[in-house]
Amino acid sequence: MRNIGNRRNMGNKGNIGNTTSLQYLLQLITTNFNKLLPITIIFFVIITSCTRENNKPGETLIQLSYEEDITPSYYEIIEMYKKLAKHYPQAKLLEYGKTDAGKPLHLFVISSNKDFDPVSIRKDNKIIVLINNGIHPGEPCGIDASLQFADDILRNKNGMAKYLENTVICIIPVYNVGGCLNRSAWHRTGQTSPKECGYRGNAKNLDLNRDFVKMDTENAKAFATIFRKWKPDVFLDTHTTNGSEHQYTITLIPVQPDYYPKVLGNFFRNEMVPALYEKMAEGDYEMIPYVSYRNRSVKKGIYLDVQTPRFSTGYASLFNTLGFMTENHVYKDFPDRVKSAYNFIKALVEFTSENGDEISEKRKLANRELLTQSEFALDFTVDTNRFDTIIFKGYEAEIGTSPVTGLERFGFNKNKAFETKIPFYQYYYPTKIIKKPEMYIIPQAWSEVIDRIKINSIEMFPLKKDTILEVEVYYFDDHENSVRAYNGHHLHRNIKLHPEMQKVQFFEGDYVILLNQEGNKYIVELLEPESHDSFFRWNFFDPCLESREYFSSYGFEENALKYLDEHPKFKAEFEKKKKEDKEFASNHRAQLGYIYYNTEWADKRHNRYPVARINKKMKLPLGK
């Protein structure tokens, strides 16, 4: 049984080398700096050369303590990466923007020819792998595993440096900096190790793994900057899950292959993903798809978990990046979780390096396909008629007795292990398809949306003069809102809308987005209101749902009468309705409403989505 009392004091052990005597000497020199200046210089020369000599190739430079059930603190993590970057010229620790905690987002880059410019790296036909860690700092296996991997590949352990010949590795040491700084033994109730860890929410108490498109945090803005600058070919986000009980230490959620253009999706589904399962099976930690099941029975089958663009991998798929999420199993010991995450990182980098040309080629074809693709799927549903069969090693589920309450509860019997074949449902079909327009126009008033699109390096052109254009607009007929706040929003769902052609006034500075760019999928997903993670669904356009003009049952009468007098045809329709509809005939407000909503008086902007679609090619006066 674990001793909870001891856990609270065991997390922040310093592990980065023994510097006590060195610190003493440095203090001595600092105090007598002027007198000792010449000696100081000699001392540093000796220290520097000693450091170089002591760290011969092959030696580890960092000290991790996952075997003792300890994960490093934020400061220790950054210090270790700094140490690696200082020692190895083929590594660099870069900073991007600031996170909500006020500290920068770091990116550790390993590039064998010391080129740290993503543009020239891509020109060099190198493959870029991006690994994101600590999005949920209570799930730190990837943090330790990435540090171990960086150290090992840099010191060429077992010849690993060969992967770097055609591959550049980018590691975000900790994405949720604020959550990592909020360290405690008491955050994760279902987790017994490591002894201390960070907190799920970030400094703004948001879940960063719901923030990739709405970008309410500085973390997400810095991440998008990294992502769009480095344009990774392959992406991994490391997590831990408590959603199931089974014999595996590591599970995997690859991007749903149907999210990619066919040429890339087929390669991903048929070659890359199976190869990674095979590579893992060769090592100590066999891997299984993330265990997502219904009806409490894994034996009836599991489903490929679909990650929409609010999640990291869904976001990665918008740009044809091959995305993976590892979910380590929380009920396994931390050292095993770290080692299995490490094995996966190694397998992923190895596969990427071995198949670099093919990945590069398939992504190029997919990006080209995206440019001309005229239809986009906004929603998918699992095909329950089609499945693959996989072997599953689990524990029998049963109603047992709680050792805490003595009452009945659903759980798993670890003494009853089983191995059986189960269906794996991983085929999805689109349920909502839309035709892309030639262009969208966003009035500049919606600056929050425009800023987010800009951070994602989407090309936009401001209109050079005020213009009235015939465009397609959407009117919202109905929608529901989530009652409870979800990551700071009340998402819209069950959206009903209809399109309408209309002449709309646009102004100089409003933004035109052409659908002829590599970000086409991002643009459609974010701007089509019905898509799963559209800006509309995330409440960015809520003011359009309110009416700013209205009619008063008394105040409108004079104008209503004038309108009827001046429009005899409409008046005749109005009179007819009164004759035919008794209830209408006796309802004063309904009659005024009929006149208001069916004439030019109606507020056209009410319920009208402000982003317009232009469906035919046309030349517009556009600036840069």
Using CB under 5 A as the criterion, which residues of the chain lie in contact with Zn ion when the complex forms? 136, 139, 239
Shortest distance, position 437 Cβ to Zn ion, whole Å: 36
**Which tokens hold the place of 344?**
């996966």
**Cα separation, 71 vs 180, whole angstroms:** 11
Residue in this structure with the two tokens 């030349």, named with its chain if needed? 619
Shortest distance, position 395 Cβ to Zn ion, whole Å: 22
Q: In this complex, which beta carbon is closest to Zn ion, that of residue 246 or of residue 608?
A: 246
Q: In this complex, which beta carbon is closest to Zn ion, that of residue 183 or of residue 239?
A: 239
Q: In this complex, which beta carbon is closest to Zn ion, that of residue 77 or of residue 560?
A: 77
Shortest distance, position 312 Cβ to Zn ion, whole Å: 10
**Cα separation, 507 vs 529, whole angstroms:** 23
Residue in this structure with the two tokens 């010191």, named with its chain if needed? 155
Q: Is there a cis peptide before residue 462, judged by omega within 30 degrees of 0?
A: no
**Cα separation, 563 vs 554, whole angstroms:** 15
Q: In this complex, which beta carbon is closest to Zn ion, that of residue 188 or of residue 346?
A: 188
**96 φ, ψ (degrees, to nearest 5):** -125, 115
**Cα separation, 126 vs 331, whole angstroms:** 38
**Cα separation, 5 vs 524, whole angstroms:** 53
**Cα separation, 620 vs 461, whole angstroms:** 10
CA angle 253, 255, 257 (to 5 degrees): 125
Long-range contacts of 562-566 (CB under 8 A, 24+ apart): 563/595, 563/599, 563/601, 564/595
Shortest distance, position 113 Cβ to Zn ion, whole Å: 35
Q: In this complex, which beta carbon is closest to Zn ion, that of residue 198 or of residue 437?
A: 198
Shortest distance, position 99 Cβ to Zn ion, whole Å: 17
Residue nearest to Zn ion (CB): 239
Q: Which residues are 612's β-sheet partners?
A: 441
**Which tokens hold the place of 368?**
């080209």
**Cα separation, 144 vs 239, whole angstroms:** 12
DSSP state letters, 329-393:
ETTS-HHHHHHHHHHHHHHHHHHHHHTHHHHHHHHHHHHHHHHH--EEEEEEEE-TT--EEEEEE
Q: In this complex, which beta carbon is closest to Zn ion, that of residue 248 or of residue 376?
A: 248
Q: In this complex, which beta carbon is closest to Zn ion, that of residue 142 or of residue 529?
A: 142
Q: In this complex, which beta carbon is closest to Zn ion, that of residue 183 or of residue 479?
A: 183
Shortest distance, position 238 Cβ to Zn ion, whole Å: 8
Shortest distance, position 240 Cβ to Zn ion, whole Å: 6
Shortest distance, position 175 Cβ to Zn ion, whole Å: 11
Q: In this complex, which beta carbon is closest to Zn ion, that of residue 155 or of residue 239?
A: 239
Shortest distance, position 198 Cβ to Zn ion, whole Å: 11
460-469: b (≥16 Cβ within 10 Å) or e: bbbbeeeeeb
Q: In this complex, which beta carbon is closest to Zn ion, that of residue 136 or of residue 183?
A: 136
Shortest distance, position 341 Cβ to Zn ion, whole Å: 12
